[in-house]
């Protein structure tokens, strides 16, 4: 972070400002929530949605291919069905069974 103001070479040959940021914000209670960790290629959105319906947890995927959860319980059900867990999660987070 010390280099926050520094410039880096751009592919076009000039210099560009270094930018730090996050694609999504995963704040507790901030729903709807999307996940980059469980995202799919945007071309696979329909297939991912169909799979979510097949496993019993219909989940929309946004234009970037990221799943969008409507609530904490929706996130927990989806993650547990695809066997994705929060290693340090608490009550209400996806847990291994």
Q: Is residue 49 part of a domain?
A: yes
Residue-level pLDDT at 13 = 67
pLDDT in tens, the chain (97 residues): 454 455 656 666 666 655 544 444 455 567 888 888 899 999 999 999 999 999 999 999 999 999 999 998 899 999 999 988 877 677 778 887 7
Closest CA to 76 of 87, 61, 86: 86
Classify 89 as helix, strand or coil: coil
**CA atoms of 71 and 69, how far apart (whole Å):** 6
For residue 34, tell me if it sits in a domain.
yes
Q: What is the pTM of this model?
A: 0.65
Contacts of 75 (CB under 8 A, 6+ apart): 33, 35, 69, 94
31 belongs to a structural domain: yes
Q: Which domain range does residue 77 map to? A: 25-81
Q: Residue 97: its pLDDT value, please? A: 73
**Does a structural domain hold residue 97?**
no
Report how far residue 26's alpha carbon sits from residue 6's, in angstroms, rounded to the nearest whole number.
28
Where in 1-97 does DSSP place strands (E)?
A: 7-9, 15-17, 33-34, 60-61, 67-69
pLDDT at 92: 76
Confidence (pLDDT) at 40: 92
Is residue 37 domain-resident?
yes
Q: How many domains does the chain have?
A: 1
- Give the separation between CA 46 and CA 65, rounded to whole angstroms: 9
């Amino acid at each position: 972070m010390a280099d926050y103001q520094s410039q880096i070479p751009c592919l076009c040959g000039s210099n560009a400002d270094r930018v730090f940021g996050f694609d999504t914000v995963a704040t507790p209670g901030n729903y709807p929530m999307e996940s980059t960790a469980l995202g799919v290629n945007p071309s696979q959105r329909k297939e991912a949605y169909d799979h979510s319906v097949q496993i019993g947890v219909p989940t929309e995927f946004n234009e970037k291919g990221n799943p969008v959860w409507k609530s904490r319980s929706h996130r927990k059900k989806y993650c547990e069905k695809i066997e994705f867990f929060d290693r340090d999660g608490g009550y209400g987070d996806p847990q291994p069974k």
